[in-house]
Amino acid sequence: MRVRALETILTEKGLIDPAALDEIIDTYENRIGPRNGAHVVARAWSDPAFRTALLEDATAVVSELGYYGRQGEHMVAVENTDAVHNMVVCTLCSCYPWPLLGIPPGWYKSDAYRARAVREPRKVLADFGVTLPETTAVRVWDSTAEVRYLVIPQRPAGTEGMDEAALMDLVTRDSMIGTGLALNP
Amino acid sequence: MTRVHDMGGRFGDGAVVPEPETEVFHADWHPRALAVTLACGSLGQWNIDTSRHARERLAPKDYAAFSYYEKWMAGLADMLVEKGVLTPEELASGHAMGTSPLAERKMTADAVAGVLARGGPADRPAQIAPSFAAGDAVRTRRHAENAFVDGGHTRLPAYAAGAQGRIVRLHGHHVLPDAAAHGLGDRPEPLYAVAFPASELWARPEHPRDEVVLDLWQSYLEPAR
């Protein structure tokens, strides 16, 4: 396997530390993932002042929650409404907000998603079982720079009395990319 | 000319296959490939634009055939040799011939959290005044090509070349990838989110009000009427 061979050479040359590799892997396998983003969304649903600040300057707001870092240096939050559904892609590579959502899923990096999301987002949404009303426009964000986008899905009906922790469970990873909707309670 | 990675709008790729949230990596060596790449980045021999370009300039038949992390490994090996960090002989033999003078920059386990938390911001102090404001009509370059290097790196996708859109917002001044990928400095420029009606980009848009928004540097844009 090529990666094993590279790791061996680089370790022998004194350029990488296998323990550091373990630490990087543990970070993205166990510590940083879509529950961070779900926390932000649930807070935005629950706290109007937080929502306003998030839409104004997402980088500052998520940094305060500790969600700043590699591939999340410049964050913008975009909010789904009855009028607009936002969806995020990176047609040129695989740009994705790591501190909030972790490592991108396989389909996000696939040729099919990268090729189709900009031309036929509604057919892509159908692959995820999502159908939008004709009255909703789709806005696809192609991440061509170092700005990373977080979709704030619509808060489901019937969640009025729920607290932040309970709301978090309704926020799926796909709903924050825009290929899914938040779960119904 | 376009490269194989510039696939936005392409036909023929089939269905998108959703997967569960718990599936982060799809083979044992994938997290290792990610970690080796990140660890090598801290040696300071290239930037994010260099490494994107290294993957993009794989031969089209390799780019299409390689899996995601195979592309990462191929791009990384090319950069390590080009920057003189490893020799072709070392790569071929699978063993190092002596230690590297860059060894003092090695990322240690206790440094990982700090490095990942600091990230690598792309914004820079302004050197050029913004030419556009939210709502302005703009047109992108006719060709999605690097202005400095023939066949070089650019972040204007071919599907949005020569298209008219409107400025949504100014993000600030960001490093210009077309320059940074080729060792030509940061050359920061105003970076804008620009919205294009789907009908401007595609012969058969799905819906008359759908839009695609791209982040584009000022030199990619000219005023439109």
Q: pLDDT tens digit string along B101-151?
A: 999 999 999 999 999 999 999 999 988 999 999 999 999 999 999 999 999
The answer to whether residues A110 and A145 belong to one domain is yes
| Domain shared by A7 and A59, yes or no | no
Report chain A residues whose CB lies below 8 A from the CB of B99. Answer: 12-14
Would B29-118 and B137-223 be classified into the same CATH topology? no
Please check whether residues A121 and A167 belong to one and the same domain: yes
- A37 pLDDT more than 90: yes
CATH number of the domain where residue A83 is located: 3.90.330.10
| Helix/strand/coil percentages in chain A, nearest 5 | 45, 15, 40
Are residue A17 and residue A89 in the same domain, yes or no?
no
In a domain, A164, yes or no: yes
Per-residue pLDDT at A2: 87
A135 and A52 inside one domain: yes
Are A53 and A11 in the same domain? no
Cα–Cα distance, B180 to B38 (Å, whole number) = 19
Question: Does the active-site annotation cover A63?
Answer: no
Angle between helices A2-12 and B29-41 (to 10 degrees): 40
- Same domain assignment for residues A102 and A159: yes
**Whole-number pLDDT of residue A70:** 95
Examine the residue annotation and report whether A93 is marked as an active-site residue of this protein: yes
Within-domain flag for A185? no
CATH code 2.30.30.50 for B137-223: yes
> Hey, what CATH topology would domain B29-118 get?
Cyclin A; domain 1 (1.10.472)
CB contact under 8 A, A8 and B95: yes
Same domain, A60 and A81: yes
Pick the closest to residue B147 from B178, B111, B168 (CA basis): B178
* pLDDT at residue A1 tops 70: no
Q: At what angle do helices A18-26 and B29-41 cross, to 10 degrees?
A: 110
ipTM (interface predicted TM): 0.97
Identify whether A87 is part of a domain.
Answer: yes
Q: Are residues A20 and A50 in the same domain?
A: no
The arithmetic mean of pLDDT across residues A114-142, rounded, is 98
Res B10: pLDDT: 97
Give the mutation candidate from B13, B28, B76, B116 for the A interface (greatest A CB count, under 10 A): B116
Give which of B66, B95, B110, B213 to mutate to test A binding, by max A Cβ within 10 Å.
B213
Shared-domain flag, residues A121 and A53 = yes
Residue A184 lies in a domain: no
A35 — contact with chain B (CB < 8 Å)? Answer: no
DSSP annotation of A183: P
Give yes or no for residue B2 having a pLDDT over 90.
no
Q: How confident is the model at residue B225 (pLDDT cuts 50, 70, 90)?
A: confident
Query: What phi, psi does B193 have (nearest 5°)?
Result: -85, 125
Domain that holds residue A95: 34-177
Residue A182 lies in a domain: no
Residues A63 and A20 in one domain: no
Whether A90 sits among the annotated catalytic residues: the reply is yes
Binary contact (A93, B5; C-beta < 8 A): yes
pLDDT score recorded for residue B1? 47
Distance from C-alpha of A164 to C-alpha of B222, rounded to nearest angstrom: 46
Dump pLDDT digits (tens) for A66-104: 999 999 999 999 999 999 999 999 999 999 999 999 999
- How many independent structural domains does chain A possess? 2
Whether A112 and A162 map to the same domain: the answer is: yes
- Summarize pLDDT for B143-182 with one digit per residue, the tens: 999 999 999 999 999 999 999 999 999 999 999 999 999 9
pLDDT surpasses 50 at A36? yes
